[in-house]
Structure 1
Amino acid sequence: MAAKVRTMAPTMTRSMQRVAEAVASDPAGCARLTVTGLAERTRTSEATVVRTSRLLGYPGYRDLRLALAGLAAHLQSGAAPSVTADIAVDDSMAEVIAKLAHDERQTLADTAACLDASQLDAAATAMAAAGRVDVYGVGASSLVGQDLAQKLLRIGLIAHSHTDPHLAVTNAVQLHPGDVAVAITHSGRTGDVIEPLRTAFEHGATTVAVTGRPDGEVTQYADYVLTTSAVRESELRPAAMSSRTGQLLAVDCLFVGVAQHTYETAAPALSASYEALAHRHVPPTRPR
């Protein structure tokens, strides 16, 4: 719930944010309230409560209330509270490991809560049938894009990761219906990623955006949007470190979905790639 609220908050009005913050901070208390009671508690209206419920992914307030009751029961069962602590300059390496591991787990959990399974499946289905897949990303997102392209190549798909913005656009011009373009940008407003995706979209390719901002400009040109978690940035942990974790989960889910759809060809292709590289994993024989 907290992950959804953090991700969707920028798209909400201030009154909707008050409702969202209330249900995220006190799920047990809000689960006991009627729609009128929650509206009074947050100084909003019943219509605002219903709109907020729908924006968070529930058909109506009744469904949100049931989800809150389930979350409250889980928390009361003894689940450990989530505590996020920033890394300090004088932290020991053991503390750094513990804090980073905690944040990585939280990022993965938040992204899992944000990802829409139907959007993922539709994107994977399109990629499985694609004549070609182009992936766009810059900076840390380019590393995630390269990871996805390499995985797709190993199961027999034609896939390219473009980090040069000029080459990305000139390649996007060559895409056609039946091809797929994937843009990876946490902010949702990286121009060097948006431009090739827009070009691919205009040429009829199926387009996918992996982003932490479902309201970002990149989504205007995306047929499918895979939302990753909001970033918790600190002085010693830049945004790119946190966003990369969520992006990797999203593209791993995408890859597995493609592999499932193409299993009959993907499995032999993976075996062939393992065999082709097997000799490189054998330790060299020591001379006598």
Structure 2
Amino acid sequence: MSENPKETFTPPPPPPPPPPHTLRSRVRSLAPTMTRSVRAVAEAVASDPAGCARLTVTALAEHTGTSEATVVRAARLLGYPGYRDLRLALAALAARQESGASPAVTADIAVDDPLADVVAKLAHEEAQTLADTAAGLDLAQLSAAVTALAGARRIDIYGVGASALVGQDLAQKLLRIGLIAHAHGDPHLAVTNAVLLRPGDVAVAITHSGSTGDVIEPLRAAFERGATTVALTGRPGAPVAQYADLVLATSAPRESELRPAAMSSRTSQLLVVDCLFIGVAQQTYETAAPALAASYEALAHRHRAPRQEPRR
């Protein structure tokens, strides 16, 4: 048997091309990591899928002031094997828009927007974000992550800022079904715990940008010690993926002055957390169900209104 646990790990097969309707959200998520020329191609196809679908690779390169190689790189970065696959996705997206199946994307929230408009815009963006995340989620990677969590001796979860809140949510859910899970928002505690992990343990890093050093450092320590590592990120090609056995991609609404990605990404992260939890609960049902029932019973009295003595 190999001494290195990473040698026995077989990664899932590469994911299929993403659904056409997730193209805009992928461009928004990946744009900060793109070069200027690649971003020009990506933004062009996202803003005019019908027009770009009619263009050859040479014509699109001329249209965007780039090169054919840049167009191919943009297609691959967006998740398509080549420009031909991207072109087919653009045609499908254009047909979807013409049929009215996809609602128009709402404008950014303005400072002087009435509260009713804010509610409507946020509701639309949240619903679209959840749909994009669900459609783009790699089920093979998700299934592997569920299996790893279900059989883990110990689970460490790393996140800072808004992602730390998502990590706490995941840890609390797993604890309620009897698993040993801890969320670490303090980067020092995260690293000191990560170096104690070993094969059979799982480390989960949550970072929308995928480049948060305080999250990458403990994940790297866990990876080097043989733990199964999972990255939950909005940018699958970001540095955090270098130390992740499994990558779960999320979507996020468009950034705005009042709603940066670090805050708006929480909705899609919580969806993936719920998917992980339900999957683990299903795999461990015989022990999870009694543990969850016991936790409900233990807390039930705290959710009842205190008994009031009758007035005299």
Q: State TM-score, norm by structure 2.
A: 0.81
Q: Which moved more, 1:34-43 or 1:54-63?
A: 34-43
Partners of 1:53 and 1:61 within 8 A in 2:
yes
Counterpart residue identity of residue 154, structure 1: R
Measured against aligned partners, the alpha-carbon deviations of 1:119-154 in whole angstroms (never above 9, x if no partner) come to 222222211111110011122211111000011111
Tell me the residue number matched to 1:85.
Answer: 108
CA distance in 2, matches of 1:21, 1:179: 41
Measured against aligned partners, the alpha-carbon deviations of 1:200-242 in whole angstroms (never above 9, x if no partner) come to 1121111112223334332222222223235644443344421
1:185 matched to 2:170? The reply is no
Give matches, 1:119-268, under 5 Å. 119-230=141-252, 232-268=254-290
Q: Which moved more, 1:98-107 or 1:34-43?
A: 34-43
Q: Which moved more, 1:42-51 or 1:20-29?
A: 42-51
Tell me the residue number matched to 1:57.
Answer: 79
Partners of 2:153 and 2:180 within 8 A in 1:
yes
Tell me the residue number matched to 1:32.
Answer: 54
Measured against aligned partners, the alpha-carbon deviations of 1:41-76 in whole angstroms (never above 9, x if no partner) come to 334444443333232222333332222222112111
The sequence identity of aligned pairs, in percent, is 75
CA distance in 1, matches of 2:39, 2:232: 24
Residue of structure 2 aligned with 1:271, choices 293, 297, 300: 293
Partners of 2:25 and 2:253 within 8 A in 1:
no
Aligned residues: 287
Q: Which moved more, 1:173-182 or 1:110-119?
A: 110-119
CA distance in 1, matches of 2:134, 2:33: 20
Partner secondary structure for residue 237 of structure 1: coil
Distance 1:204 1:258, change over 3 A: same
Counterpart residue identity of residue 309, structure 2: P
Partners of 1:28 and 1:68 within 8 A in 2:
yes
Partner secondary structure for residue 189 of structure 1: coil
Distance 1:17 1:92, change over 3 A: closer
Partners of 2:154 and 2:179 within 8 A in 1:
yes
Shift of 1:254: 2.2
Q: Which moved more, 1:273-282 or 1:139-148?
A: 273-282
Partner secondary structure for residue 134 of structure 1: strand
Partners of 2:155 and 2:201 within 8 A in 1:
yes
CA distance in 1, matches of 2:230, 2:179: 17
Q: Which moved more, 1:139-148 or 1:27-36?
A: 27-36
Partners of 1:119 and 1:225 within 8 A in 2:
yes
Partner secondary structure for residue 245 of structure 1: helix
Partners of 2:208 and 2:261 within 8 A in 1:
no
Tell me the residue number matched to 2:25.
Answer: 3
Partners of 1:84 and 1:102 within 8 A in 2:
no
CA distance in 1, matches of 2:33, 2:259: 26
Counterpart residue identity of residue 85, structure 1: D
Partners of 2:106 and 2:121 within 8 A in 1:
no
Shift of 1:109: 3.5
CA distance in 1, matches of 2:258, 2:91: 37
Partners of 1:136 and 1:142 within 8 A in 2:
yes
Q: Which moved more, 1:182-191 or 1:11-20?
A: 11-20
Q: Which moved more, 1:127-136 or 1:117-126?
A: 117-126
Instruction: Point out where structure 1 has 5 or more consecutive residues left out of the alignment.
Output: none
Distance 1:260 1:229, change over 3 A: same
